[in-house]
Amino acid sequence: MITLPFIFQVMNLNCSLWQDNIMSVKRFAFAKFSEVTEECFLLFTLILLMFLASLTGNALIALAIWTNPVLHTPMYFFLANLSLLEIGYTCSVIPKMLQSLVSEARGISWECCATQMFFFILFGISECCLLAAMAFDRYMAICSPLHYAARMSHRVCAHLAVVSWGVGFLVGLGQTNYIFSLDFCGPCEIEHFFCDLPPILALACGDTSHNEAAFFVVASLCISSPFLLIIASYGRILAAVLVMPSPEGRHKALSTCSSHLLVVTLFYGSGSVTYLRPKATHSPGVDKLLALFYTVVTSVLNPIIYSLRNKEVKAALRRTLGRKK
């Protein structure tokens, strides 16, 4: 099986230890969360519990959807994909962070750092696109119900999911390639708990203003473009709901969108504050807190939001857990 580090080696992106008498960093180290052991242990316990809750919740939702034919509809197909993305998203970051909290082994090799960055971007950008596809699905269901079955067929849904994953793969590979083609001359300590783009870019040699500008443009496009599609979809949905004659119909239409809107607010809100705010306002402490929110907290809240606010998902979870018992 071809691994991502092998791809980078083929593309001649390896950093040698010595090049032209300049030391090039081959290994990084994550900064400590705290010098107080008790604080690190407490944080380790909280993050571990949230990580396990996230894995369990998202895995149960994906399993319930795949094993219950009544949920084999476009909305739940996208929800199952969202759960899989959340699992990959957290697994790409949290295990290494937990190790760094309770161990002095906070180092990470150049290749592993590049791999972590690639998968983090892959799952994050794919989720941005998938949330837009879910909004389009709700728009078709509410604004064009007579043509919904034909226009949102299994083939169309599969294509939308493949495009979401494909965009994440291409952006992840391109951005990781772009960042790790730079030279890193030291220091080697990353002011973060995973290999995110801004803290890695801060360690690169020389003037990186062009790289920072390119990263900002890509982040803006990847965050704002799907978000604008979501806003356009919900604008049309709101217009259609307001002219519905039945209060029950309006309530049903809004209830099917409320869970998705809440997830979109959490995901895009934290992502925008993290990556689109001015560089002058960045600080390692604030960036870490924001990263903890969008990598750990949101992934825990998503399955809770969908399971608590959706009767069909709760019924499917009860049937799935009943079969296991």
pTM of the shown model: 0.84
**18 - beta bridge partners?**
23
Q: Read out DSSP for 211-237?
A: HHHHHHHHHHHHHHHHHHHHHHHHHHH
In a domain, 18, yes or no: no
Is the pLDDT assigned to residue 101 strictly greater than 90? no
In a domain, 315, yes or no: yes
Helix (H, G, I), strand (E, B) or coil at 199: helix
Q: Are 80 and 66 in contact (CB under 8 A)?
A: yes
Residue 29: DSSP 8-state: E
Q: Span 13-30, mean pLDDT?
A: 53
**27 - beta bridge partners?**
109
Residues constituting the chain:
325
Q: What is the pLDDT of residue 12?
A: 38
In a domain, 197, yes or no: yes
Q: How many domains does the chain have?
A: 1
Residues 152-162 have pLDDT tens digits of: 999 999 999 99
In a domain, 324, yes or no: no
In a domain, 107, yes or no: yes
Residues 185-202 have pLDDT tens digits of: 767 888 888 888 888 888
Residue 202: count of CB within 10 angstroms of its CB:
15
Percent of residues, the chain, with pLDDT higher than 70? 88
Helix (H, G, I), strand (E, B) or coil at 131: helix
Q: Which two tokens stand for residue 318?
A: 């009860």
Helix (H, G, I), strand (E, B) or coil at 283: coil
Q: What is the CATH number of the domain that holds 253?
A: 1.20.1070.10
In a domain, 9, yes or no: no
In a domain, 159, yes or no: yes
In a domain, 191, yes or no: yes
Residue 57: count of CB within 10 angstroms of its CB:
22
Q: How far apart are CA 144 and CA 251, in angstroms?
A: 17
Task: Find the domain containing 68 and state its range.
Answer: 34-319
